[in-house]
Amino acid sequence: MQTLTLTRPDDFHLHVRDGAALKAVVPYTARQMGRALIMPNLKPPVTTVAQALAYKQEISAAVPAGLDFEPLMCLYLTDKTTPDLVREAKAAGIVAFKLYPAGATTNSDSGVTDLFKLLPVLQAMAEEGVRFLVHGEVTDPDIDIFDREAVFIERVMKPVLAQVPDLKVVFEHITTAEAARLVMEAGGNVAATVTPQHLLLNRNDLLVGGVRPHHYCLPVLKRESHRRALVEAVTGSQSHKFFLGTDSAPHVQTAKENACGCAGMFSAMNAIGLYAEVFEAAGALDKLEAFAAQNGARFYGLPQNSGRITLVKQAEQVPQSVPFGDGQLVPMRAGGEVAWRVAAE
């Protein structure tokens, strides 16, 4: 039986919600990852240090006994964020601020309406070494949804990097060849997370044979050529600039399967196994450990996790659904199999 032992990975982009939903999903990540960077788009959003620290306690309380797992916290960037808040966040151990362009995705109504008005805030992030996490899409109604990321690069990302050249930026959940190219050509202050769905699926998986609501996420799945470009990026000569960020986003089944299904895919249940499939198919299993456990830690200035996990090449059945608060949650690849699983300790 084929096995692969890795330094315990990190997930640098994770949604866990709150309340009963949080308690249902945190254990899936804690069993695979040593740390996870928790997204702040709750209702209301996490915009203050006090809120972030309270949220961290709630997440830590949901970690099963005996597991060594640390939630890393970030704050939701708004039009009212100040340089003083950046300095307060740094002092409290908050590692990042997250940009949601207003209206771009789930719970983004409080997001930024004009990033260029926040240049003093971005400068403070650069000075303090706080990472700037970017949901890189424009929201103009005249821009095709499949082009939002590419347009964001030209209208926003490149001008911001030119005006705040020392800002440490993570281009989150990239989906296009254009985004991969930007990251590879930028300086060492720019990196990106890549999700399992954008490495494994393309827009045919969303639309062919009928709309598949559990494959609907934002940024939306793109053409096969873009998927291939992402695989090449995470396995190629500039692969050190890319790292694991699932963007696992749990939603109750009834919210996904209705006339206006919400965006997000829940991949946390089998995350590292899904990534292992990608790297194996690319003939690059030897690069999985760097992607999953080294590149992100280095970019955030964190030590690598001391623990290790072992993956076994043995198909694991994915359930059709799992309990989620008062409802059910449909995981990525529900009813199918994942080729790699985490070996029991």
Mind listing the pLDDT tens digit for each residue in 146-156? 999 999 999 99
pLDDT band at 344 (very low <50, low <70, confident <90, very high): confident
Q: What is the pLDDT of residue 261?
A: 83
Beta-bridge partners for 71:
36
Structure tokens at 136: 């890189």
> Taking Cα atoms as reference points, which of 271, 224, 234 lies closest to residue 250?
271
**Contact, 327 vs 254, CB < 8 A?**
yes
**What percent of the chain shows pLDDT beyond 70?**
97
Q: What is the pLDDT of residue 159?
A: 97
Residue 247 assigned ligand-binding role: yes
Strands (E), the chain: 3-7, 10-14, 35-38, 70-76, 96-99, 131-134, 169-171, 190-194, 242-244, 308-317, 322-324, 327-329, 337-342
Annotate 155-207 with DSSP letters as a single string. IIIHHHHHHSTT--EEETT--SHHHHHHHHHS-TTEEEEE-HHHHH--THHHH
Residue 87 assigned ligand-binding role: no
Dihedral class, residue 83 (left if φ above 0, else alpha if ψ from -120 to 50, else beta): alpha
Euclidean distance between CA atoms 36 and 165, whole angstroms:
27
Instruction: Tell me the pLDDT tens digit for each residue of 234-276.
Output: 999 999 999 999 999 999 999 999 888 899 999 999 999 999 9
Q: By three-state DSSP, how is residue 129 classified?
A: coil
Residue 17 assigned ligand-binding role: yes
The phi and psi torsions of 64 (rounded to 5 degrees) equal -60, 145
Residue 151 assigned ligand-binding role: no
Q: Which range in 96-110, 118-132, 253-267 is most confidently predicted, on average pLDDT?
A: 118-132
**Contacts of 23 by beta carbon, 8 Å cutoff, 6+ apart:** 62
Query: What residues act catalytically?
Result: 247
pLDDT band at 108 (very low <50, low <70, confident <90, very high): low
Instruction: Tell me the pLDDT tens digit for each residue of 178-218.
Output: 999 999 999 999 999 999 999 999 999 999 999 999 999 99
Strands 3-7 and 308-317: what pairing? antiparallel
